């Protein structure tokens, strides 16, 4: 597997700029399992990455550090493998660019954008933050499932993805459900290391999921072995197949690992996408474990 080129293996960090370490992973391999076709995807969306350990030098040797935000579309044929991106970004650490921090930043951002677009075969929007800007948050209206009153009465016993747990709410008083959980956990498909995160779901339709069943389903992903983007698309497709909604949005906000967090989001309609999350120049408020 190309995605296993660096994952799970001792790797020496590049000492100089090394674009060839970037690894592109075809999306279609995993999508076939859920009947998703590249030319007819049932969603629009983006993969949003925050890289917290970006640094390089000016021409005079002054370090420049900050947070890099990357946004690229879910329609791209490839996703970038996370460890390869970490190695790539660290390859800038001792390189010198420009006469000052501004020139250095502009040069490095241009290089990163070109390299990623070449590897991923898509447009990549990036922004570099050198100080904490105003914070934004897209999910303040989403109720947290594990905070429902009956939580202590529920029994959880399934920890491999169990779509049968998704049941319609026969007592629904609204056609809309905005729900989230901070109990999301899955595992890397190569190293099997745990990936922690939060999931937010917006669904609008004649039939919406019952909350306790939805929570049990999301908990059942705990021992699944997939990349973050694949988990998001799996949840989306299960909900789409089970409830045939008019509108659907799924966002997975994962905890950073190795200095990088990945936040994929998929939606049936562009207007449902969390606007602040997918905007490169806006830095969203971090969740407790992000």
Query: What positions carry a catalytic annotation?
Result: 188, 195
**For residue 195, with 0-12 CB atoms within 10 Å meaning exposed, 13-18 middle and 19 or more buried, which class applies?**
buried
**For residue 227, with 0-12 CB atoms within 10 Å meaning exposed, 13-18 middle and 19 or more buried, which class applies?**
buried
**CA 182 to mean position of chain CA atoms:** 14
Task: Return all residues near 65 (Cβ < 8 A) that are at least 6 apart.
Answer: 54, 55, 130
Residue 61 DSSP label: -
Distance CA 266, CA 186 (A): 18
Residue 286 DSSP label: P
Distance CA 33, CA 224 (A): 14
Query: Which residue is listed with tokens 């992973």?
Result: 25
Do 183 and 215 touch, CB atoms closer than 8 A?
yes
Do 87 and 11 touch, CB atoms closer than 8 A?
yes
The set of long-range contacts for 269-272, using a CB threshold of 8 Å and a minimum separation of 24, is 269/44, 270/44, 272/202, 272/247, 272/248
């Amino acid at each position: 597997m190309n995605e296993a080129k660096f994952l799970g293996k001792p790797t020496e960090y590049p000492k100089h700029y090394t674009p060839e370490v970037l690894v592109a992973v075809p999306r279609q391999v995993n999508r076939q399992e859920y009947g998703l076709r590249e030319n007819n995807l049932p969603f629009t969306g983006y993969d949003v990455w925050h890289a917290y350990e970006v640094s390089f030098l000016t021409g005079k040797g002054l370090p420049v550090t900050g947070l890099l935000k990357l946004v690229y579309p879910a329609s791209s044929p490839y996703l970038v493998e996370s460890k390869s991106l970490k190695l790539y970004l660290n390859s800038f650490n001792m390189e010198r660019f420009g006469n000052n921090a501004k020139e250095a930043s502009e040069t490095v951002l241009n290089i990163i954008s070109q390299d990623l677009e070449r590897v991923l075969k898509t447009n990549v929007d990036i922004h570099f933050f050198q100080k904490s800007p105003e914070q934004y948050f897209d999910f303040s209206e989403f109720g947290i499932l594990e905070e429902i009153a009956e939580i202590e009465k529920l029994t959880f016993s399934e920890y491999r993805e169990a779509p049968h747990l998704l049941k319609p709410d026969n007592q629904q008083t609204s056609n809309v459900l905005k729900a989230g959980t901070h109990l999301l956990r899955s595992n890397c498909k190569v190293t099997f290391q745990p990936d922690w995160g939060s999931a937010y779901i917006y669904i609008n339709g004649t039939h919406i999921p019952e909350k306790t069943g939805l929570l049990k389903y999301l908990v059942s992903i705990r021992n699944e072995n997939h990349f973050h983007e694949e988990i998001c698309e799996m949840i989306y497709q299960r909900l789409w197949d089970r409830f045939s909604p008019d509108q659907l949005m799924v966002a997975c906000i994962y905890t950073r690992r190795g200095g990088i967090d990945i936040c994929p989001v998929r939606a049936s309609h562009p207007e449902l996408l969390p606007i602040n999350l997918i905007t490169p120049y806006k830095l969203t408020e971090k969740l407790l474990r992000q």
